[in-house]
């Protein structure tokens, strides 16, 4: 899907890209070869690739920015937390395990509660999404923007696991969205946010999330001109529910999803 072009000018973004690529190399060696899969306490899978990739990220970024801490999916919190890197070494581990090529390394920088940098790297497809607060969103070095669709009847609505939406109590709201949209598709994980940020879809609904799932794609969508909130409309990565849109349809999507007046 094209090579990585462009070179991030900001040193924080450049370091995050370098760490994501290093983690991607580790993950790809396992992806092409073999690995053992174990289940964590929440019944989600984890592999050696997840752990080694996160260790590579923390080593590289720790050397570059020794005063900043980490929040990672595999190893939790480490170091100072006011400014910290938020890491998902393999977003889409279930896809990774089954050799479905929709997975990515996710890295974000959170400064005093605000995500200011985001990197999403899929080493299988060579897709690199980058965003830095105030500097726009890019895919492989090219600027990306959300769509300008303003009518729900023209919108494409994306979703992740439907069972999770049902269990979270938002099934009726999701059906309301489906009923008024032009098209629905189930592109989950990082990929759905990328499609919204690139203007290829207008709405993405996801639940059962952790901060490391959301942090880098939040700034990606926002810097592309869209909005990302929880289901109550708060711009947070800590609720577990996420609605990402092109911005123009956000309020209506929230109303349909939650049944609010």
Kindly report, residue by residue over 210-244, the tens digit of the pLDDT.
999 999 999 999 999 999 999 999 999 999 999 99
From the candidates 50, 74, 91, 202, which is the catalytic residue? 91
Does residue 179 carry a catalytic annotation? no
The confidence band for 193, taking pLDDT boundaries of 50, 70 and 90, is very high
pLDDT at 41: 72
Annotated catalytic residue: which of 54, 74, 198, 213?
213
3-state secondary structure of 236: coil
| Candidate list 50, 73, 74, 189, residue with the active-site label | 73
Catalytic residue among 47, 93, 241, 245: 93
Residue 37's pLDDT band (cuts 50, 70, 90): confident
pLDDT of amino acid 1:
33
Q: Using 50, 70 and 90 to split pLDDT, how confident is the model at 64?
A: very high
Q: Which of 57, 86, 90, 219 is catalytic?
A: 90
Determine whether 91 is an active site residue: yes
- With 50 as the cut, is the pLDDT of residue 259 above it? yes
Mean pLDDT of all residues in the chain?
A: 93
**Helix H or strand E encompassing 27:** helix 11-32
117 noted as active-site residue: no
Predicted confidence (pLDDT) per residue in 51-63, tens digit: 999 999 999 999 9
Distance CA 207, CA 2 (A): 31
Residues 50, 88, 222, 230: which is the catalytic one?
Answer: 88
Confidence band for 38, pLDDT divided at 50, 70 and 90: confident
What pLDDT score was predicted for residue 54? 96
* Residue 73 among the catalytic residues: yes
Active site residue 90: yes
Task: Read off the pLDDT of residues 109-163 as tens digits, 9 standing for 90 and up.
Answer: 999 999 999 999 999 999 999 999 999 999 999 999 999 999 999 999 999 999 9
- The predicted model gives 20-38 an average pLDDT of 89
Tell me how far CA of residue 260 lies from CA of 26, 173, 248, 251, in angstroms. 46, 10, 18, 10
What is the pLDDT, as a whole number, of residue 261?
55
pLDDT for 80 beyond 50: yes
Report how far residue 217's alpha carbon sits from residue 189's, in angstroms, rounded to the nearest whole number.
10
Torsions phi, psi of 188, nearest 5?
-95, -175
pLDDT of 3 higher than 90: no
Annotated active-site residue 93? The verdict is yes
């Amino acid at each position: 899907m094209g090579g990585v072009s462009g070179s991030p000018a900001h040193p924080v973004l450049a370091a995050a890209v370098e760490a994501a690529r290093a983690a991607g190399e580790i993950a790809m060696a396992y992806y092409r070869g073999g690995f053992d899969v174990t289940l964590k306490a929440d019944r989600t899978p984890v592999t050696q690739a997840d752990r080694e990739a996160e260790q590579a990220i923390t080593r590289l970024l720790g050397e570059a920015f020794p005063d900043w801490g980490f929040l990672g999916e595999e190893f939790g919190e480490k170091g100072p937390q006011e400014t910290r890197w938020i890491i998902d070494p393999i977003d889409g581990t279930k896809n990774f395990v089954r050799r479905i090529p929709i997975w990515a390394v996710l890295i974000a920088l959170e400064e005093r509660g605000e995500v200011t940098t985001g990197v999403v790297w899929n080493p299988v497809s060579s897709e690199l999404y980058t965003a830095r607060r105030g500097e726009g969103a890019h895919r492989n070095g090219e600027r990306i923007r959300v769509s300008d669709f303003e009518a729900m009847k023209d919108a494409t609505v994306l979703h992740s696991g439907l069972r999770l939406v049902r269990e979270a109590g938002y099934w009726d709201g999701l059906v309301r969205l489906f009923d008024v949209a032009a098209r629905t598709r189930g592109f989950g994980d990082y990929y759905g946010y990328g499609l919204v940020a690139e203007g290829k879809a207008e709405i993405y609904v996801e639940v059962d999330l952790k901060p490391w799932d959301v942090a880098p794609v939040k700034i990606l969508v926002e810097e592309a001109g869209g909005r990302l909130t929880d289901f109550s409309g708060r711009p947070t990565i800590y609720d577990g529910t996420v609605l990402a849109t092109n911005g123009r349809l956000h309020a209506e999507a929230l109303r349909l999803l939650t049944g609010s007046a």
